[in-house]
Amino acid sequence: MGTTDRTPLTRERVLEAAIAIADEAGIESLTMRKVAKELGVEAMSLYNHVAIKEDLLVGMVDAVAREIDVPRRARSWKSAIRRTAISSRDTFLRHPWAARLWMAGGEGGSARLEYADWLLRTLREGGLSSDRVYHGFHILQGYVLGYTFQQLSVPYGPEELAGMAQRFLREFPTDDFPDMAEHIRQHIEPRRGKEGGFELGLDLILNGLEGA
Protein backbone atom coordinates (compact mmCIF):
# COMPACT_ATOMS: atom_id res chain seq x y z
CA MET A 1 0.00 0.00 0.00
CA GLY A 2 1.15 3.48 -0.86
CA THR A 3 4.40 2.96 -2.78
CA THR A 4 5.91 5.85 -4.69
CA ASP A 5 6.90 5.24 -8.32
CA ARG A 6 7.75 7.27 -11.39
CA THR A 7 4.76 6.10 -13.45
CA PRO A 8 2.82 9.16 -14.65
CA LEU A 9 -0.42 9.71 -12.76
CA THR A 10 -3.49 9.25 -14.97
CA ARG A 11 -7.24 9.11 -14.45
CA GLU A 12 -7.13 5.36 -15.11
CA ARG A 13 -4.54 4.80 -12.35
CA VAL A 14 -6.58 6.90 -9.93
CA LEU A 15 -9.71 4.86 -10.69
CA GLU A 16 -7.84 1.56 -10.38
CA ALA A 17 -6.51 2.55 -6.97
CA ALA A 18 -9.93 3.72 -5.78
CA ILE A 19 -11.58 0.48 -6.96
CA ALA A 20 -8.94 -1.61 -5.18
CA ILE A 21 -9.61 0.25 -1.92
CA ALA A 22 -13.39 -0.09 -2.26
CA ASP A 23 -13.12 -3.80 -3.11
CA GLU A 24 -10.96 -4.46 -0.08
CA ALA A 25 -12.50 -2.24 2.59
CA GLY A 26 -15.87 -1.06 1.24
CA ILE A 27 -17.00 2.12 -0.45
CA GLU A 28 -17.57 3.84 2.92
CA SER A 29 -13.83 3.68 3.60
CA LEU A 30 -12.90 5.43 0.37
CA THR A 31 -11.36 8.88 0.70
CA MET A 32 -9.25 10.98 -1.64
CA ARG A 33 -6.47 10.86 0.96
CA LYS A 34 -6.44 7.06 0.92
CA VAL A 35 -6.34 6.98 -2.88
CA ALA A 36 -3.43 9.40 -2.87
CA LYS A 37 -1.58 7.30 -0.29
CA GLU A 38 -2.14 4.18 -2.37
CA LEU A 39 -0.59 5.93 -5.37
CA GLY A 40 2.21 7.54 -3.37
CA VAL A 41 1.21 11.11 -4.24
CA GLU A 42 -0.24 14.14 -2.52
CA ALA A 43 -4.03 14.30 -2.39
CA MET A 44 -4.11 17.55 -4.37
CA SER A 45 -2.49 15.74 -7.32
CA LEU A 46 -5.65 13.70 -7.77
CA TYR A 47 -7.69 16.75 -8.66
CA ASN A 48 -5.83 17.05 -11.95
CA HIS A 49 -7.62 13.83 -12.97
CA VAL A 50 -10.89 13.77 -11.00
CA ALA A 51 -12.77 16.98 -10.31
CA ILE A 52 -14.39 15.99 -7.00
CA LYS A 53 -15.18 12.77 -5.14
CA GLU A 54 -18.49 12.44 -7.03
CA ASP A 55 -16.51 12.45 -10.28
CA LEU A 56 -14.33 9.71 -8.83
CA LEU A 57 -17.40 7.58 -8.01
CA VAL A 58 -18.87 8.07 -11.49
CA GLY A 59 -15.56 7.02 -13.00
CA MET A 60 -15.36 3.95 -10.77
CA VAL A 61 -18.83 2.76 -11.80
CA ASP A 62 -17.96 3.40 -15.43
CA ALA A 63 -14.77 1.34 -15.08
CA VAL A 64 -16.84 -1.50 -13.64
CA ALA A 65 -19.26 -1.21 -16.57
CA ARG A 66 -16.33 -1.81 -18.94
CA GLU A 67 -15.76 -5.22 -17.31
CA ILE A 68 -19.21 -6.44 -18.37
CA ASP A 69 -19.19 -8.78 -21.35
CA VAL A 70 -21.28 -7.16 -24.09
CA PRO A 71 -21.26 -9.50 -27.13
CA ARG A 72 -21.23 -7.85 -30.52
CA ARG A 73 -22.39 -11.07 -32.15
CA ALA A 74 -24.63 -13.77 -30.73
CA ARG A 75 -26.98 -16.50 -31.91
CA SER A 76 -30.01 -14.52 -30.82
CA TRP A 77 -31.01 -11.43 -28.87
CA LYS A 78 -31.98 -13.59 -25.89
CA SER A 79 -28.63 -15.39 -25.76
CA ALA A 80 -26.81 -12.06 -26.03
CA ILE A 81 -28.76 -10.46 -23.19
CA ARG A 82 -28.54 -13.62 -21.09
CA ARG A 83 -24.75 -13.65 -21.46
CA THR A 84 -24.49 -9.98 -20.56
CA ALA A 85 -26.84 -10.25 -17.57
CA ILE A 86 -24.80 -13.12 -16.10
CA SER A 87 -21.60 -11.17 -16.72
CA SER A 88 -23.17 -8.14 -15.00
CA ARG A 89 -24.06 -10.24 -11.96
CA ASP A 90 -20.55 -11.68 -11.79
CA THR A 91 -19.00 -8.22 -12.16
CA PHE A 92 -21.09 -6.77 -9.34
CA LEU A 93 -20.14 -9.70 -7.11
CA ARG A 94 -16.46 -8.92 -7.76
CA HIS A 95 -17.09 -5.30 -6.77
CA PRO A 96 -19.70 -5.50 -3.97
CA TRP A 97 -20.02 -1.71 -3.67
CA ALA A 98 -20.85 -1.11 -7.36
CA ALA A 99 -24.44 -2.40 -7.47
CA ARG A 100 -25.59 0.13 -4.88
CA LEU A 101 -23.95 3.04 -6.71
CA TRP A 102 -25.40 1.83 -10.02
CA MET A 103 -28.86 1.61 -8.46
CA ALA A 104 -28.51 5.17 -7.16
CA GLY A 105 -28.56 6.40 -10.75
CA GLY A 106 -27.19 9.86 -11.34
CA GLU A 107 -24.73 10.83 -14.02
CA GLY A 108 -23.49 7.96 -16.17
CA GLY A 109 -20.10 7.63 -17.82
CA SER A 110 -19.58 6.61 -21.42
CA ALA A 111 -19.26 2.87 -20.72
CA ARG A 112 -22.45 2.78 -18.69
CA LEU A 113 -24.31 4.71 -21.40
CA GLU A 114 -22.95 2.37 -24.08
CA TYR A 115 -24.16 -0.59 -22.03
CA ALA A 116 -27.66 0.89 -21.72
CA ASP A 117 -27.76 1.79 -25.41
CA TRP A 118 -26.67 -1.74 -26.36
CA LEU A 119 -29.37 -3.32 -24.20
CA LEU A 120 -32.11 -1.13 -25.68
CA ARG A 121 -30.87 -1.75 -29.23
CA THR A 122 -30.66 -5.52 -28.70
CA LEU A 123 -34.23 -5.63 -27.39
CA ARG A 124 -35.43 -3.55 -30.36
CA GLU A 125 -33.54 -5.63 -32.93
CA GLY A 126 -35.06 -8.73 -31.33
CA GLY A 127 -38.40 -7.61 -32.74
CA LEU A 128 -39.97 -6.49 -29.48
CA SER A 129 -42.56 -3.76 -29.50
CA SER A 130 -41.67 -0.28 -28.32
CA ASP A 131 -43.62 -0.88 -25.11
CA ARG A 132 -41.78 -4.15 -24.41
CA VAL A 133 -38.41 -2.57 -25.12
CA TYR A 134 -39.21 0.18 -22.63
CA HIS A 135 -40.41 -2.13 -19.86
CA GLY A 136 -37.96 -4.91 -20.68
CA PHE A 137 -35.02 -2.56 -20.16
CA HIS A 138 -36.17 -1.60 -16.66
CA ILE A 139 -37.23 -5.13 -15.72
CA LEU A 140 -33.85 -6.60 -16.70
CA GLN A 141 -31.91 -3.84 -14.96
CA GLY A 142 -34.01 -4.19 -11.83
CA TYR A 143 -33.69 -7.97 -11.79
CA VAL A 144 -29.90 -8.06 -12.20
CA LEU A 145 -29.27 -5.32 -9.65
CA GLY A 146 -31.90 -6.48 -7.16
CA TYR A 147 -30.89 -10.14 -7.24
CA THR A 148 -27.22 -9.25 -6.90
CA PHE A 149 -27.87 -6.80 -4.08
CA GLN A 150 -29.86 -9.46 -2.22
CA GLN A 151 -27.10 -12.01 -2.76
CA LEU A 152 -24.49 -9.59 -1.43
CA SER A 153 -26.66 -8.83 1.60
CA VAL A 154 -26.62 -12.45 2.83
CA PRO A 155 -23.51 -12.76 5.04
CA TYR A 156 -23.43 -16.57 4.90
CA GLY A 157 -21.98 -19.10 2.50
CA PRO A 158 -23.86 -22.19 1.22
CA GLU A 159 -22.44 -24.47 3.93
CA GLU A 160 -23.33 -22.01 6.69
CA LEU A 161 -26.87 -21.63 5.33
CA ALA A 162 -27.28 -25.42 5.19
CA GLY A 163 -26.19 -25.70 8.83
CA MET A 164 -28.58 -22.94 9.86
CA ALA A 165 -31.43 -24.64 8.00
CA GLN A 166 -30.74 -27.95 9.78
CA ARG A 167 -30.80 -26.27 13.19
CA PHE A 168 -33.91 -24.29 12.31
CA LEU A 169 -35.81 -27.42 11.24
CA ARG A 170 -35.34 -29.04 14.65
CA GLU A 171 -37.74 -26.53 16.19
CA PHE A 172 -39.86 -25.74 13.11
CA PRO A 173 -43.56 -26.79 13.21
CA THR A 174 -43.35 -28.90 10.03
CA ASP A 175 -46.87 -30.34 10.45
CA ASP A 176 -48.39 -26.85 10.44
CA PHE A 177 -46.29 -25.51 7.55
CA PRO A 178 -45.27 -28.53 5.43
CA ASP A 179 -44.47 -26.63 2.23
CA MET A 180 -42.24 -24.17 4.03
CA ALA A 181 -40.52 -27.08 5.76
CA GLU A 182 -39.85 -28.70 2.40
CA HIS A 183 -38.38 -25.44 1.13
CA ILE A 184 -36.05 -25.26 4.13
CA ARG A 185 -34.93 -28.84 3.46
CA GLN A 186 -33.97 -27.80 -0.06
CA HIS A 187 -31.46 -25.39 1.46
CA ILE A 188 -29.76 -28.40 3.03
CA GLU A 189 -29.70 -30.58 -0.08
CA PRO A 190 -26.85 -29.99 -2.57
CA ARG A 191 -28.00 -28.12 -5.66
CA ARG A 192 -27.61 -29.98 -8.92
CA GLY A 193 -26.32 -28.36 -12.10
CA LYS A 194 -24.19 -25.31 -12.72
CA GLU A 195 -27.03 -22.82 -12.94
CA GLY A 196 -29.21 -21.58 -10.15
CA GLY A 197 -32.07 -19.27 -9.35
CA PHE A 198 -30.58 -16.24 -11.06
CA GLU A 199 -30.38 -17.98 -14.43
CA LEU A 200 -33.86 -19.49 -14.03
CA GLY A 201 -35.39 -16.11 -13.27
CA LEU A 202 -33.51 -14.51 -16.15
CA ASP A 203 -34.83 -17.12 -18.60
CA LEU A 204 -38.37 -16.58 -17.36
CA ILE A 205 -38.04 -12.84 -17.99
CA LEU A 206 -36.54 -13.25 -21.47
CA ASN A 207 -39.11 -15.86 -22.49
CA GLY A 208 -41.88 -13.66 -21.14
CA LEU A 209 -40.68 -10.64 -23.12
CA GLU A 210 -40.61 -12.75 -26.28
CA GLY A 211 -44.07 -14.23 -25.71
CA ALA A 212 -47.32 -12.71 -26.90
Contacts of 164 (CB under 8 A, 6+ apart): 156
Q: Which among 57, 33, 59 is positioned nearest to 46, based on CA atoms?
A: 33
DSSP 88: H
Interhelix angle for 53-65 vs 32-39, to 10°?
60
Residue 156 pLDDT level (bands cut at 50, 70, 90): low
pLDDT, mean of residues 22-30: 94
Residue 56: count of CB within 10 angstroms of its CB: 22
Residue type, 92: F
- The yes-or-no verdict on residue 1 having pLDDT over 90 is no
Full set of structural domains in the chain with CATH: 11-50 (1.10.10.60), 69-212 (1.10.357.10)
Measured at the CA of 203, the angle between CA 198 and CA 204, to 5 degrees, comes to 100
Query: Per this entry, what is the length of the chain?
Result: 212
Per-residue pLDDT tens for 64-105?
Answer: 999 999 998 778 999 999 999 999 999 999 999 999 999 887
pTM: 0.83
Residues 167 and 175: their CA atoms lie apart, in Å, by 17
Residue 108 pLDDT level (bands cut at 50, 70, 90): confident
Phi, psi of 2 (to 5 degrees): 70, 45
Per-residue pLDDT tens for 170-202?
Answer: 888 888 888 888 888 877 776 655 668 899 999
